[in-house]
Amino acid sequence: MSRTCEICGKKTTFGNNVSHSNKKTKRVFKPNIQKATVEINGKIKKINICTSCLKAGLVKKVV
């Protein structure tokens, strides 16, 4: 499963862990992507969507 939201385009970003001594090591920030069945333009599709888009109500989830 790709780590990209098909609604907002949110994807994995990169940064640093910063210790107390200010030493920096690489890390990744992964979005919370879920596979959901949603209704888009009257059609039912399975898409990868981040939980912030689901919570915001940007799509209608099919139960």
| pTM, rounded to two decimals | 0.79
Cα angle 27-35-39, degrees, rounded to a multiple of 5: 135
- Judge whether 3 and 49 are in contact, CB under 8 Å: no
Q: What's residue 1's pLDDT? A: 62
Domains and CATH numbers, the chain: 13-61 (2.30.170)
Residue 63's pLDDT is 83
Per-residue pLDDT of the chain (63 residues; tens, 9 = 90+): 689 999 999 999 999 999 999 999 999 999 999 999 999 999 999 999 999 999 999 999 998
State whether residue 41 is helix, strand or coil: coil
